[in-house]
Chain A
Amino acid sequence: MQLSNFGKLLICSCVLLTSAAADEPALKFLEGLRQRRYFDTALEYIDQLEGRSDLPQEVTKVLDLERGITLRAQATASAYSDDKEQALARAEQALKKFATENADHPRAAFANFEVGQLLLERARSTVWEAESPAAASRKNELLQSARGLIDQAKGIYQVAFDQYSALNDKYPAFIDRDEEPDLFQERNQVLLRKLRSQYQLARCTYERGQTFEMGSQERNETLIRASSEFEKIYQENRSTPLGRLSNLMRGKCFQEQGDIGRAVSFYNDVKDDRSNQPAVVQLRAYAVQFRLICLNHETRNDYQLVVTEATEWLADNVNRPLLGTEQGIGIKWERALAYEKMSAEREIEEKARNQLLNAAFDDADQVSQVGGRYYEPALEMKRRIGALRGDRSKEPTDALSAYDAAKAILTSDYRKAVDALKTAKDSGDQTAIQSATQTLNLNLKELGRLLQLTLKLRDRDTDPKLVASARNLLSFVYLKQNKNLDAVILARFCMEKDRAVNPEAALEAVDIAMAAVVRAYNEAGEDKDFEIQLMKEVMELIISDYDKSAKGNEARFRLAKIYGDLGDPETSAATYLTVAPEYKLYPTAQIKAGQAYLTSWYNGLIAAGGESEAGNLTELRDNAAKYLRTGLKLARANLGDGRPGAEVVKAEISLADINNRQGNFQETIARLTAGAANSVLAIQQLPADQRPATGVGSTALAAQTYRYMLRAYIGTQQLEKALEIMTSLENVGEQNLAAVYTELGKQLESELEGLKAAGDTEKLDQARTDFESFLDRVRERDQLDYNSLLWIGETYLGLGNGVRDQREVAEPYFARAAEAFQQMLDEKLVEKQFVNAIKLRLVKCRTAQRKYQEAVSMAQEILTESEMLLEGQFEAAHSLAEWGADAGGEPDKLLEAIGGIKVGEKRVIWGYGYLARRLAQTRNQPEWEQLRPQFLDARYEIANSRLRYFQTGAADGKQMLDTAAGELRLFASRTSDLSDVEFDRFSGLYDTIVAELGMGNNDKHYTLKRFEKVEVPPEQMVARTEEEIAKDKAEDPVPTYEPEGPGVAFFGVALLLAGGLGFGCYKMMSKPPQRKRAYSSDVNVKADTAGPPVSMPSGDGEPSFEGLDIGPPPGPPGTAPQKRRKKKGAPKAGPGGKTPAKKKRPMTPEQMEQAKARRRRAAKEKAAQEQGEGGPRPKKKARKRPPQPPADEK
Chain B
Amino acid sequence: MNMKQSLALTLMAAFALSSSADDLTRKSESTRIRGDIGKTDLTQVTIKRTNGDLISVPVNDLKTINFAGAPTELLQGQTNEFSGASQAALEKYQKAVGGTSGKMRSEFEFLIGRALATLSQVDADKSVEAKSALQKFRSANKTHYRYLEATLLQAAVQAGMNEADEATTLLQEVVDGPVAAYKLQAGVELGRLHLKTGDAGAALAKFNEVIQQSSAPEAAATKFAGMLGKAACLQSQSNLDQAVATLDEVIKSAPDTETKTHAEAWLRKGDCLRLKQAFKPALYAYLHVDVLYEGETVQHAEALARLVALWQQAGHADRSASTSAKLKQMYPNSQWAKSPGG
When the two chains form their complex, are residues A1018 and B4 in contact, meaning their CB atoms are under 8 A apart? no
Our pick among A456, A493, A534, A1018 for the contact of B313 (Cβ within 8 Å) is A1018
A400, A460, A490, A1019: which contacts B309 (Cβ < 8 A)? A1019
Partner of B277, one of A400, A1017, A1021: A1017
Instruction: Rank and list the top 10 A-B pairs by shortest CB-CB distance, nearest first.
Output: A530-B280, A1018-B313, A1015-B277, A1018-B309, A489-B291, A461-B3, A398-B2, A486-B291, A490-B291, A485-B287
Give A contacts to B, CB under 8 Å: 398, 400-401, 456, 459-461, 483, 485-486, 489-490, 493, 497, 525, 527, 530-531, 534, 1015, 1017-1019, 1021
Interface string of B292-323 (1 = CB under 8 A from A): 10110000000000000110110100010000
Smallest CB–CB gap between A794 and chain B, Å?
48
Can you list 9 A-B pairs with a CB-CB distance of less than 8 A? A485-B287, A486-B290, A486-B291, A490-B291, A530-B284, A531-B280, A1017-B274, A1018-B312, A1021-B313
Assess whether B284 is in contact with A1018, with CB atoms less than 8 Å apart.
no
Question: In the complex, which of the residues A486, A489, A497, A1018 contacts B310, with contact meaning CB atoms closer than 8 Å?
Answer: A1018
A498 CB to closest chain B CB (Å) equals 10
Given the contacts A400-B2, A530-B284, A1018 and B291 also touching, CB distance less than 8 Å: no
Residues of chain A lying within 8 A (CB to CB) of residue B284: 485, 489, 530, 534
A398 interface neighbour in B4, B278, B292, Cβ under 8 Å: B4
Complex CA gap A134/B312 in Å reads 36
Residues on B with C-beta less than 8 A from A459 are: 4
Whether B288 and A489, one on each chain, are in contact in the complex, defined by CB atoms closer than 8 angstroms, is yes
B residues apposed to A, CB below 8 Å: 2-5, 7, 30, 256, 274, 277-281, 283-284, 287-288, 290-292, 294-295, 309-310, 312-313, 315, 319, 340-341
In the bound complex, residues from chain A placing their C-beta under 8 Å from that of B340 are 1019
Report the Cα distance A483→B5, complex, angstroms: 35
Q: Taking the nearest CB of chain B, how far is it from the CB of A817, in angstroms?
A: 53
B11 to chain A, nearest CB (A): 12
* Chain B residues closer than 8 Å to A1019, beta-carbon distance: 309, 340-341
Please measure, in the bound complex, the distance between the C-alpha atom of A483 and the C-alpha atom of B30, giving whole angstroms: 37
Q: Residue of B at shortest CB range from A486?
A: B291
* B30-A490 in contact (CB<8A): no
- Chain B contacts for A534, CB-based, 8 A: 284
Residues of A with C-beta under 8 A to B3? 461
Chain B contacts for A460, CB-based, 8 A = 30
> Which residues of the other chain, A, contact B295 by a CB distance below 8 angstroms?
456
Across the interface, name the chain B residue whose C-beta is closest to A400: B2
Can you name the residue of chain B whose Cβ is closest to the Cβ of A530? B280
Given contacts A456-B295, A525-B315, A530 and B277 within 8 Å (CB-CB): no
B1 to chain A, nearest CB (A): 10
Further pairs besides A401-B2, A527-B280, A1019-B341: 17, Cβ < 8 Å: A398-B4, A398-B5, A460-B30, A461-B3, A461-B7, A486-B290, A489-B288, A490-B291, A490-B292, A493-B292, A530-B284, A1015-B279, A1018-B309, A1018-B310, A1018-B313, A1019-B309, A1021-B313
In the complex, A106 Cα to B277 Cα: how many Å?
A: 71
- Residue with the highest number of chain A CB atoms closer than 10 Å, among B7, B280, B340, B341: B280
With both beta carbons as reference points, the residue of chain B lying nearest to A475 in the complex is identified as: B291
CB of A442 to closest CB in B, whole Å: 16
A497 CA to B290 CA in the complex, in Å?
18
**In the docked arrangement, what's the CA distance between A1019 and B288, Å?**
21
A796 to chain B, nearest CB (A): 54
Q: How far is the CA of A197 from the CA of B150 in the complex (A)?
A: 80
A490 to B292, CA, bound (A): 7
Q: How many interface contacts (CB-CB < 8 Å) are there between A and B? A: 49
Give Cα A483–Cα B318 distance, bound, in whole angstroms: 11
Give chain A nearest CB distance to B230 CB in angstroms. Answer: 25
Q: Give the complex CA separation of A398 and B291 in angstroms.
A: 20
Task: Tell me the bound Cα distance from A459 to B2 in angstroms.
Answer: 12
- B279/A1018 in contact, CB under 8 A: yes
Q: Which residue of B lies closest to A1015 (CB)?
A: B277
CB of B4 within 8 A of CB of A461, answer: yes
Q: With the chains together, A530 CA to B280 CA distance in Å?
A: 7
**How distant is the Cα of A490 from the Cα of B319 in the complex, in angstroms?**
17
Taking the closest CB of chain A, its distance from the CB of B319, in whole angstroms, is 8
Q: How far is the CB of A797 from chain B (nearest CB, A)?
A: 49
- In the complex the two chains form, what is the Cα distance from A95 to B291 in whole Å? 48
A1114 CB to nearest chain B CB (Å): 14
Q: Which of B2, B310, B312 has the most CB of A within 10 A?
A: B2
Give the docked Cα–Cα distance between A485 and B310 (Å).
13
Interface centre among A401, A456, A483, A485 (most CB of B within 10 A): A485
How far is A497 from B287 in the complex, measured between Cα atoms in Å?
A: 18
* Chain A residues near B315 (CB-CB < 8 A): 525
User: Which chain A residue has the least Cβ–Cβ distance from B275?
Assistant: A1017
Cross-chain contact of B281 among A486, A530, A1017 (Cβ < 8 A)? A530
Find B283's partner among A456, A485, A493, A1015 (CB 8 Å cutoff). Answer: A485
Smallest CB separation, A1058 vs chain B (Å): 38
A1017 to B312, CA, bound (A): 12
Whether B277 pairs with A486 at a CB distance below 8 angstroms is no
Closest chain A residue to B289, Cβ basis: A489
| Min distance, Cβ B64 to any Cβ of chain A, angstroms | 14
Q: Which residues of A contact B256 (CB under 8 A)?
A: 497
Give the distance in Å from the alpha carbon of A398 to the alpha carbon of B5 in the complex: 9
Chain A residue contacts of B283, Cβ below 8 A: 485
Residues of B within 8 A of A486 (CB): 287, 290-291
Smallest CB separation, B182 vs chain A (Å): 26
Give the shortest distance, in Å, between A449 (CB) and chain B (any CB).
Answer: 13
Least Cβ–Cβ distance between B227 and chain A, in angstroms: 21
| Structural contact, B2 and A489, CB atoms closer than 8 A | no
| Known A525-B315, A1019-B309; contact A489-B287, beta-carbon cutoff 8 A | yes
A401 partner residues in chain B, CB cutoff 8 A: 2
Closest to A1017 in B: B277
* CA–CA, A1017 and B281, complex, Å: 14
Closest chain A residue to B276, Cβ basis: A1015
Q: How far is the CB of B323 from chain A (nearest CB, A)?
A: 11
Query: Considering the chains assembled together, what is the distance between the CA atoms of A960 and B280 in angstroms?
Result: 45
When chains A and B are docked, how far (Å) is the Cα of A489 from the Cα of B309? 20
Kindly report which residue of chain B lies nearest to residue A1022, judged by CB atoms: B340
Cα separation A497 to B319 with both chains bound (whole Å): 27
Give the distance in Å from the alpha carbon of A522 to the alpha carbon of B4 in the complex.
45
Q: Complex formed: what's the CA distance from A398 to B4 in Å?
A: 8
B89–chain A nearest beta-carbon distance, Å: 16
Question: How far, in angstroms, from A456 to B300 measured CA to CA in the complex?
Answer: 14
> Bound complex: CA of A896 vs CA of B278, how far in Å?
47
Closest Cβ–Cβ distance, residue A1012 to chain B (whole Å): 13
B258 to chain A, nearest CB (A): 13
Bound-state Cα–Cα, A489 to B312, Å: 20
Which residue of B is nearest A483, CB measured?
B319
CA separation between A1036 and B234, bound complex, in Å? 36
Q: Which residues of A contact B278 (CB under 8 A)?
A: 530
CB distance from A274 to the nearest CB of B (A): 40
A527 to B2, CA, bound (A): 51
Q: How far is the CB of A481 from chain B (nearest CB, A)?
A: 11
Give Cα A345–Cα B281 distance, bound, in whole angstroms. Answer: 61
| In the complex, chain A residues whose CB is within 8 Å of the CB of B7 | 461
Q: Find chain B residues with CB under 8 A from A1015 CB.
A: 277, 279
CA separation between A707 and B203, bound complex, in Å? 72
Measured in the bound complex, the distance between the Cα atoms of B169 and A1051 in whole Å is 76
- Residue among A400, A483, A485, A1018 with most chain B CB within 10 A: A1018
Chain A residues whose CB sits within 8 angstroms of the CB of B2 once the complex forms: 398, 400-401
Residue of B nearest to A488 (CB): B284
Q: Which residues of B contact A485 (CB under 8 A)?
A: 283-284, 287
Taking CB atoms, residues of chain A closer than 8 Å to B312 are 1018
Most buried by A among B274, B284, B294: B284
Determine the chain B residues whose CB is within 8 A of the CB of A527 once the complex forms: 280
B281 neighbours in A (Cβ, 8 Å) = 530
Q: Which residue of A lies closest to B3 (CB)?
A: A461
Shortest CB distance B240–A (Å): 14
CB distance from A1046 to the nearest CB of B (A): 36
Report the Cα distance A509→B294, complex, angstroms. Answer: 21
A contact residues around B290 at 8 Å (CB): 486
